Amino acid sequence: MKDTQMALVSIPKDEDASPLQNSIFKHSKILFGRVANAVRVGSHTPKLMQILFGFIVSSLREEITENLTVKTKCLVILKTSTLNGCAY
């Protein structure tokens, strides 16, 4: 059986970020209180991340989805990542 590994992609730090990346980080901090590593990695392609960011925000907001709390959604995301072998 072939051993599979996740691809290694750098996680940009605030001080190394481009102006577009800094904009994404700033808005992530405003909306979520932090910048998740997934957002940092996605910021390598800022234009694409801007589109995905809108989807992430809308999928996590309780008043839009009305079914699950944000806490429950975050737990589902964490469990899915763990099952997929993501080393959070």
pLDDT in tens, 35-73: 888 889 889 998 888 888 777 777 777 666 677 777 887
* Structural tokens at position 72: 């429950």
Compare 85 and 22 and report the one with higher pLDDT: 22
Is the per-residue pLDDT at 15 higher than 80? yes
Cα 29 from Cα 38, distance rounded (Å): 13
Is the per-residue pLDDT at 87 higher than 70? no
Compare 32 and 20 and report the one with higher pLDDT: 20
